[in-house]
Chain A
């Protein structure tokens, strides 16, 4: 039993009735409690948690509070100003619910539980096969709300679904969210989420996105992170994929205090494609970690991982890319790239590919680079009249933007590139 586990169990005990009032999960919370007690909160010595910073979590007396501060949108990118907001773990609007004529449902998990409880529980926790680190258990214990998106068979949702996960508060409170994205056969949706906190925030946020991609379905899921203050965020996305399905997941971290992003997918049927990507711009003392786990459980699937980091100051970055190719997963194509620019002497990055291959007819490649800007390229730009600082920004932006190559929504792509450019301009070496 470790200190963190105790803290969260105690917190749950105090908060259980408030939590159930917000999001009634019945005995599921109690069941999760037993699992969490057994598995425990992750510890630094565990291989997949080596690069995470867990001490603050362990030493803080976390509380649960139901707060609804006024939402300050002045720092928000224009694109997200009118999107539905989850404020400290709960949708701002009590009736955030839309059910369209074609059957598409977009709303909060709380509303979904009222309107379509069976469907919710058909999916809630269903991505959880092996909860090695108690992530699902802890989240189930303390979850208050999340985004619910359901797309029926054959429907292609043309306009991206936008949402904001907003945290603001300085009482060391926890925020637990569960987002569930479901597309039925040959259906598709693009979800874009801004995860943002205020400069005085010190929440511990743990959000899980469960994605269900049915046969020939497509889910594109993007997260843009702008954490300030002392926000700790562990953000995880789990996906299961059907036949000839596509799953795109991309996380761009523009600012962070202590952020851990996990992206998982499992191929349950052949001919699936997964494109997972991430970019972190970490300056000063920021910490960002990316963990990826791709389970090639069946043959003929393709996965692509494209991650990049730009680190300066005393920033710390880490990437772990675990690819599992099971014995029967012949004709697997798996590609992994983790490229990092380290712009200062004190910035650190750890890049760890982890290929577990049990089939014999596979193509698996991984590449990791840690370097600085190409001097020759810099000189070339300067020799054409571009100033030294601008030349650096141009090269860094194009380096960073490479992680967005697979993003289909050109609008979103350009928006993120602009945000990256602004952030890079603000970062001094």
Chain B
């Protein structure tokens, strides 16, 4: 494993309710890169994302997920987050009664506390929140709203991007970022991702359609079929898939 590997998945097997979903995943994602996972429905793409994020319903039966050399499978979801892992959810849940500003400030401060920093000053928080929300075009969703409550699909995904921009994570899983989005929204969320790309962080984009990858251009694409990576290649692999479909991969 090179020093520059941010996330390494070794022989990962996972199941849910006794059903085997991931059947031996091996993946190495270096800092500074964007990897994409594509595959047909039921291949296990979301499961992979959920296992990295730490959802309890999924049982890992074999393997490791090493993030900066540490096996994050032994860490609680909050620990993973504080260490710099961020998951943009496919269907972000609504949390009525928890206001957006309070929520954003709480998560920013949770990260600051972890790093031994002081909580964010109120004025700075407001400025930062407004700036990032304006960039994404969701300033209206910040005022007087509860987390994701009444948000459209696009607004929910933009809220995921807002949190990503505020928390500045090191490893980001984008779970079907483009699902349910129109072209303008896809452009906007991709812009948010691209703005954040640096030699120190990495992204794993899980997607069903090739279109997102026109905007978030990956360094490597992996095709996941029936719980295994069957092929890896560069961004042109997406075009091949578009032409020939997944069946050609089996």
Please report A residues at the B interface, Cβ cutoff 8 Å.
374, 376-377, 379-388, 391, 394-395, 398-399, 401-402
Rounded to whole Å, the gap between the CB of A388 and the closest CB of chain B is 7
Report, as a range, how many residues of chain B touch the other chain: 20 to 34
Kindly count the residue-residue contacts between A and B in the assembled complex, taking CB atoms under 8 Å apart: 64
A89 to B7, CA, bound (A): 68
Contact B96 A398 (CB under 8 A): yes
Contact residues, B84-104 vs A (CB, 8 A):
87, 89, 92-98
User: Which of B105-113, B127-135, B176-184, B204-212 forms part of the interface with chain A?
Assistant: B105-113
Q: Does B220 count as interface, using CB distance less than 8 angstroms?
A: no
A401 proximity list for chain B (CB < 8 A): 97
Q: Beyond A377-B94, A385-B110, A398-B98, list 17 extra A-B contacts (CB 8 Å).
A: A374-B95, A377-B93, A379-B56, A380-B93, A381-B95, A382-B54, A383-B77, A383-B78, A383-B80, A385-B107, A385-B111, A387-B110, A388-B78, A391-B78, A395-B95, A398-B96, A398-B146
A398 proximity list for chain B (CB < 8 A): 95-98, 146
In the complex, which of the residues A384, A395, A399 has the most CB atoms of chain B within 10 Å of its own CB atom? Answer: A384
A100 to B163, CA, bound (A): 54
Contact A377 B110 (CB under 8 A): no
Contact A384 B96 (CB under 8 A): no
Q: Does B82 count as interface, using CB distance less than 8 angstroms?
A: yes
For B95, the closest partner residue in chain A by CB is: A377
Q: Does B172 count as interface, using CB distance less than 8 angstroms?
A: no
Contact B95 A382 (CB under 8 A): no
A394 proximity list for chain B (CB < 8 A): 98, 106
Contact B167 A384 (CB under 8 A): yes
A376 is contacted by which of B78, B80, B93, B107 (Cβ under 8 Å)? B93
For B104, the closest partner residue in chain A by CB is: A384
Contact B78 A386 (CB under 8 A): yes
Contact A395 B78 (CB under 8 A): no
Rounded to whole Å, the gap between the CB of A247 and the closest CB of chain B is 25
For B77, the closest partner residue in chain A by CB is: A382
Rounded to whole Å, the gap between the CB of B51 and the closest CB of chain A is 13
Contact B78 A380 (CB under 8 A): no
B106 proximity list for chain A (CB < 8 A): 386, 394
A374 to B55, CA, bound (A): 14
Contact residues, B41-82 vs A (CB, 8 A):
53-56, 76-78, 80-82
A383 to B81, CA, bound (A): 6
Task: State the main secondary structure of chain A at its contact with B.
Answer: helix
Residue contacts A-B, CB under 8 angstroms, 23 given: A374-B93, A374-B95, A376-B93, A377-B93, A379-B56, A381-B95, A383-B54, A383-B87, A384-B78, A385-B81, A385-B107, A385-B111, A385-B167, A386-B78, A386-B110, A388-B78, A395-B95, A395-B98, A398-B95, A398-B96, A398-B146, A402-B96, A402-B97
A374 to B97, CA, bound (A): 13
Contact B89 A382 (CB under 8 A): no
A401 to B97, CA, bound (A): 8
Contact A385 B96 (CB under 8 A): no
B53 proximity list for chain A (CB < 8 A): 383
Rounded to whole Å, the gap between the CB of A403 and the closest CB of chain B is 10
A382 proximity list for chain B (CB < 8 A): 54, 76-78, 81
Q: Does B231 count as interface, using CB distance less than 8 angstroms?
A: no
Q: Does B143 count as interface, using CB distance less than 8 angstroms?
A: no
B76 proximity list for chain A (CB < 8 A): 382, 388
For B91, the closest partner residue in chain A by CB is: A376
Rounded to whole Å, the gap between the CB of B91 and the closest CB of chain A is 9
In the complex, which of the residues A379, A385, A402 has the most CB atoms of chain B within 10 Å of its own CB atom? Answer: A385
A398 to B92, CA, bound (A): 18
Contact B78 A387 (CB under 8 A): yes
A399 to B163, CA, bound (A): 23
B89 proximity list for chain A (CB < 8 A): 380, 383
Contact B77 A399 (CB under 8 A): no
B111 proximity list for chain A (CB < 8 A): 385
Rounded to whole Å, the gap between the CB of B172 and the closest CB of chain A is 12
A399 to B95, CA, bound (A): 10
Rounded to whole Å, the gap between the CB of B177 and the closest CB of chain A is 16
B107 proximity list for chain A (CB < 8 A): 384-386
A388 to B167, CA, bound (A): 19
B94 proximity list for chain A (CB < 8 A): 377
Contact B78 A399 (CB under 8 A): no
B96 proximity list for chain A (CB < 8 A): 398, 402
Contact B98 A385 (CB under 8 A): no
Rounded to whole Å, the gap between the CB of A378 and the closest CB of chain B is 9
Rounded to whole Å, the gap between the CB of A43 and the closest CB of chain B is 39
For B57, the closest partner residue in chain A by CB is: A375
A379 is contacted by which of B55, B110, B114, B146 (Cβ under 8 Å)? B55
A385 proximity list for chain B (CB < 8 A): 78, 81-82, 107, 110-111, 114, 167
A402 to B107, CA, bound (A): 22
For A375, the closest partner residue in chain B by CB is: B56
A386 to B106, CA, bound (A): 8
Rounded to whole Å, the gap between the CB of A58 and the closest CB of chain B is 41
B55 proximity list for chain A (CB < 8 A): 379
A386 to B147, CA, bound (A): 15
Query: With contacts A385-B110, A386-B78, A388-B78 known, is A380 near B97, CB below 8 A?
Result: no
B54 proximity list for chain A (CB < 8 A): 382-383
A379 proximity list for chain B (CB < 8 A): 55-56, 77
Contact with A along B127-153 (1 / 0, CB 8 A): 000000000000000000011000000
